[in-house]
Amino acid sequence: MISFQNVSFSYPDSERPAIQNINLEVAPGTLALVIGESGSGKSTLLRCVNGLVPHFSGGSLQGNVRVNGLDPVQATPKVMSRHVGFIFQDPEAQFVVDRVEDEIAFALENFALPAEEIRMRVAEVLDLLSLKALRYRRLETLSGGERQRVAMATALVMRPEVLVLDEPTSQLDPKSAHDVLETLVRLNRTLDLTVLLAEHRIERVLPFADQLIALNVEGNGGISGPPRQVFTQTDITPPVVTLGKELGWQPLPMTVEEGRKFIPDIESRTPKSETIPTPVSHKGEPFLQIHDLEVRYGNQIILDRVNLDLLQGEILVLMGPNGAGKTTLLRTIVGLLQPAKGKVIAGGVDISNKRMDEICRAVGYLPQDPNALLFADSALEELMITLRNHAGKMDAAGEQEADRTARALLERLELINQADDYPRDLSVGQRQRVALGAITVTKPKTLLLDEPTRGLDYGAKQSLAQLLRGWRDEGMAILLVTHDVELAAEVADRAAILKQGKISSCGDPSRVMRSSVRFTPQIARLFPYTDWLTVQDALIGIRQIFS
């Protein structure tokens, strides 16, 4: 169905090719997963399939691409749109009109199909994706998962043979992501649709993937084949595969269910009540205390008497479904929203009625979209601006001191070589760290982070985790809101789950994360009778048992 032969592509004015010597074949009805670090060319590869590269992007393409016998370069994206449905990372960014039904019909109206056929196709796709109830809804009133399903419907209504998706679940909570993937797999199996999908959170998609395409930043051709075979040649692996590789399990397990076949021996030798390993305690005095916090939008209660303490020197991970009130909680803490009841105490001082700039000196808050923060000409200037905002006018000595502080932080953020670069030219992970720098340069005692791993690859997530652990060890109190259960497992000292505006559980991460299957990391599902959460925990635990 899809074939790449010696395909290389360079963007205009780019010194190195985005993809190089790609050779791959994707058979009809295959669900192929594309993995790779940021900048490895995943998006470029996907855009070659429908001709957006090079027609939309410009640049030079070498080699042969064939999709269902067509050459996308010659056929143009207009013709390819009938064969290839393309779904982007942010569904909101691809909507043209404002209502579900109109959005689905837009492309068909554009192709001037008879009204009767449009009606039939729209009804068919609404049924297929269980969107009937949303037919007349405004797009802005839909949840993230619903929007992504509408985006799928807009592509499927063209009855394509191939569906291409660029990180479709990156902005969704685990449940919505699961629903979207389940729909995708159903389409793949029932319609024999060929699916090509790029994703950073591999563990979500791997159970359904027939083929894996791994790209690397060096752009030396990539590897394509059955997942088991490809994973032996790449380091980008989900926890269960990483553990399997470390312990030499053969055949390499791709899912938790496959991994369980290897553990009866370990299970029989693990004392059920024993805690392995003992978590390191960093906990100090409570720095941030939230008492009976209630927030309303009109008559609707968003946060319902929330009580939460954040201790000095700990990372508290807050999880929960979309719309549970996680972002509202963070916005209320920093004074962007006024609570109807309750109070927030930081360092012993009630900050509920303080000015926002006063609060933000003690409490740093990184919002979901780091781009909203960045506007200066360089990464260094971004940090300097925050310092000037808080200090007012600085004399020459003050400027020098601020420069030293900002450079020291950039060093720590591993951005010192990018100090003079324009922030929006940096990678997603680097941009995220510049924004983090702009927030933390005033050395707040508490840091609140809202979904900081959106769009980050494994490497960027690891460096973020390392940074947070470092700050935690220095005594910073960190409240991390995330859907990324694997990152949560890596860094959490405590975990809490917020559901419908209420804290449903809070405490030891191994207990809290096991309380809901949606928030349980792979290792915890693999070893349900231990309190292990990460590959590292499992390796230490297993070595202890067998020593």
Partner 1 sequence: MIHTWAWIGWLISALVALSITRNPLYLFLILLCIALVGWTQERRLSSESSQTQNLLPFSPFKFVLVIITLSALFNAVISHFGETVLFSLPEWLPFLGGPITLEALAFGAINGLVLGGIFAAFTVLNLALPVRSLVRLIPRAYYPVAVITSIAITFIPNATRQFHHIREAQAIRGHRVRGLRGWLPLIMPLLVGGLERALGLAEAMTARGFASSEGGNQTSQTRLGMVLGLLMLFGGWLLRLIEGGQLLGIGLMILGITLIAAMLWSIGRSVPRTNYNQEIWRFRDFLVLIGSMGVISAFLLPIPWIDQSILHYNPYPILNLPGFDPLIGAATMGLLIPIFIIKPK
**252 vs 344 by CB, closer to partner 1:** 344
Give the 3-state secondary structure of residue 461: helix
In the set 159, 343, 390, 407, which binds partner 1 (CB under 8 A)?
Answer: 390
Q: Which residues contact 119 (CB under 8 A, 6 or more apart)?
A: none
283 is a contact residue toward partner 1 (CB under 8 A): no
In the set 163, 316, 317, 438, which binds partner 1 (CB under 8 A)?
Answer: 438
Q: Report the C-alpha gap between 432 and 423 in whole angstroms.
A: 10
Q: Which residues contact 268 (CB under 8 A, 6 or more apart)?
A: none
| 446 closest CA partner among 314, 336, 332 | 314
Strand partners, 67: 2, 70
Residues in the interface with partner 1 (CB under 8 A) total 73
Q: Which residues contact 217 (CB under 8 A, 6 or more apart)?
A: 36, 37, 39, 40
In the set 109, 182, 274, 292, which binds partner 1 (CB under 8 A)?
Answer: 109
Among 25-33, 385-393, 408-416, 516-524, which window interacts with partner 1 (CB under 8 A)?
385-393
Q: What are the φ and ψ backbone dihedral angles of 179, each rounded to 5 degrees?
A: -60, -45
**145 vs 509 by CB, closer to partner 1:** 145
In angstroms, what is the minimal distance from the CB of 388 to partner 1?
A: 9
Among 106-114, 255-263, 272-280, 342-350, which window interacts with partner 1 (CB under 8 A)?
106-114
In angstroms, what is the minimal distance from the CB of 171 to partner 1?
A: 14
Among 60-68, 220-228, 371-379, 505-513, which window interacts with partner 1 (CB under 8 A)?
371-379
82 is a contact residue toward partner 1 (CB under 8 A): yes
In the set 78, 261, 404, 443, which binds partner 1 (CB under 8 A)?
Answer: 78
13 is a contact residue toward partner 1 (CB under 8 A): no
Q: Report the C-alpha gap between 163 and 458 in whole angstroms.
A: 25
Q: Report the C-alpha gap between 338 and 462 in whole angstroms.
A: 35
Burial 352-385 (b: 16+ CB within 10 A, else e): bebeeeebbebbbbbbeebeebbebeebbbbbbb
In angstroms, what is the minimal distance from the CB of 239 to partner 1?
A: 33
Q: Report the C-alpha gap between 245 and 253 in whole angstroms.
A: 9
98 is a contact residue toward partner 1 (CB under 8 A): yes
In the set 30, 38, 148, 154, which binds partner 1 (CB under 8 A)?
Answer: 154
294 is a contact residue toward partner 1 (CB under 8 A): no
In the set 24, 125, 360, 526, which binds partner 1 (CB under 8 A)?
Answer: 360
In the set 291, 331, 407, 518, which binds partner 1 (CB under 8 A)?
Answer: 331
Beta strands in 111-239 (DSSP E): 162-166, 194-198, 211-214, 223-225
In angstroms, what is the minimal distance from the CB of 372 to partner 1?
A: 4
**98 vs 285 by CB, closer to partner 1:** 98
In the set 25, 66, 99, 207, which binds partner 1 (CB under 8 A)?
Answer: 99
| 43 closest CA partner among 147, 235, 207, 196 | 196
**57 vs 463 by CB, closer to partner 1:** 57
| 62 closest CA partner among 15, 18, 14, 2 | 18
115 is a contact residue toward partner 1 (CB under 8 A): yes
**CB neighbourhood size of 530 (10 A):** 24
In angstroms, what is the minimal distance from the CB of 103 to partner 1?
A: 9
105 is a contact residue toward partner 1 (CB under 8 A): yes
122 is a contact residue toward partner 1 (CB under 8 A): yes
**CB neighbourhood size of 23 (10 A):** 13
418 is a contact residue toward partner 1 (CB under 8 A): no
In the set 18, 61, 101, 496, which binds partner 1 (CB under 8 A)?
Answer: 101
Among 94-102, 212-220, 477-485, 527-535, which window interacts with partner 1 (CB under 8 A)?
94-102
Quick note: the x/- pattern for partner 1 over 21-60, rule CB under 8 A, is -----------------------------x-x--xx----
**429 vs 509 by CB, closer to partner 1:** 429
Q: Report the C-alpha gap between 479 and 317 in whole angstroms.
A: 6
In the set 13, 74, 93, 396, which binds partner 1 (CB under 8 A)?
Answer: 93
Q: Report the C-alpha gap between 6 and 21 in whole angstroms.
A: 4
In the set 261, 424, 443, 511, which binds partner 1 (CB under 8 A)?
Answer: 424
Q: What are the φ and ψ backbone dihedral angles of 164, each rounded to 5 degrees?
A: -115, 130
Q: Report the C-alpha gap between 510 and 245 in whole angstroms.
A: 24
In angstroms, what is the minimal distance from the CB of 300 to partner 1?
A: 6
Q: Report the C-alpha gap between 129 and 118 in whole angstroms.
A: 16
Strand partners, 33: 197, 212
In angstroms, what is the minimal distance from the CB of 9 to partner 1?
A: 16
In the set 6, 60, 275, 389, which binds partner 1 (CB under 8 A)?
Answer: 389
186 is a contact residue toward partner 1 (CB under 8 A): no
Ramachandran assignment for 5, one of left (phi > 0), alpha (psi -120 to 50 degrees), beta (any other): beta
